[in-house]
Structure 1
Amino acid sequence: MATKQLNIRLDEKLDQRLEALAARTGRSKAFYASEAIEAFLDDWEDYYLAKDALTEFRDSDETAIDVEDVDWNKLGA
Structure 2
Amino acid sequence: MLALRLPEELEQRLAALAQETGRSKSFYAREAIAAYIDDLEDVYLAERRIEDLRAGRSHTIPLSEVMAEYDLDD
Match of 1:64 in 2: 63
Query: Which ranges of structure 2 fall in alignment gaps of 5 or more residues?
Result: 65-71
Residues 40-55 of structure 1 mapped to structure 2, 5 A cutoff: 40-50=36-46
> What is the aligned-residue RMSD (CA, Å)?
2.8
Match of 1:30 among 26, 31, 56: 26
Amino-acid identity (%): 50
Query: Which ranges of structure 1 fall in alignment gaps of 5 or more residues?
Result: 66-73
Cα gap change, 1:46 to 1:10, in 2 (>3 Å): same
Normalising to structure 1: TM-score of the pair?
0.56
Match of 1:10 among 3, 6, 10: 6
Q: Which runs of 4+ in 1 moved over 6 A?
A: 53-56
Partners of 2:60 and 2:49 lie apart in 1 by: 14
User: Which amino acid is the alignment partner of residue 2 of structure 2?
Assistant: L
Cα gap change, 1:37 to 1:61, in 2 (>3 Å): closer
